[in-house]
Amino acid sequence: MQQLHNIKDGNQANENLGETIDNYKAQIGKYTKIINNDEWDEKTEFMNQQVMLDHKKKLISAKEEKNNENIIEVLLSLRVNALQISPELRKNLVYELIRNDVLNIEEAKESSFILDLLNVHAYNLKHATLSLISIIAATFKGVEYLMINGPLILEKIIDVIIIFI
């Protein structure tokens, strides 16, 4: 949204405007498919073990390649899956996210993976990252998971939120 406002106000060059519009169209298309999916059934298991591990691999790979669009796609997919299931089952999904260490906090024995995502100067990436963090932090185990290596993630979240305000 900030990028669109900058373009509208003339504060940003229109060099990549076509690419930006195509990215927005793709993202809106994905959301539309999710919203309009009439075949959705609450009993469907959205995230099995293999899907969760595939998401983690894609996330790590996209981060290594510095491909923000793919990172955002994976983060939004995880978030959408968490929001599509009933609230009673959401806690179990959060526990699975933690058990599979999707944010690579336990495996790396540090918080740099998530901190790096929050340090990228892209509002859409920060938003997608914070959205997934908020879902994870909705449980006590999620807070423990995010704080396992100290308060660095929490401090960075506060810094990012202050910038958004």
The DSSP line for 53-89 is HHHHHHHHHHHHTT-HHHHHHHHHHHHHHHHHS-HHH
Question: pLDDT at position 141, please?
Answer: 94
pLDDT at residue 1, rounded to an integer: 60
pLDDT at 100 over 50: yes
What average pLDDT does range 39-56 have in this prediction? 66
Q: Which residue has the higher pLDDT, 3 or 21?
A: 21
Measured between alpha carbons, how far is 116 from 57 in angstroms, rounded to an integer? Answer: 17
Exposed/middle/buried for 126, CB within 10 Å: 0-12, 13-18, 19+?
buried
Using alpha carbons only, how large is the chain's radius of gyration in Å? 17
- Give pLDDT, residue 15: 63
User: Is residue 95 within a helix (H) or strand (E), and if so which, with residue range?
Assistant: helix 87-99
Mean pLDDT of 40-57: 69
Domain locations along the chain: 1-40, 48-164
Q: Is the pTM above the cut of 0.85?
A: no
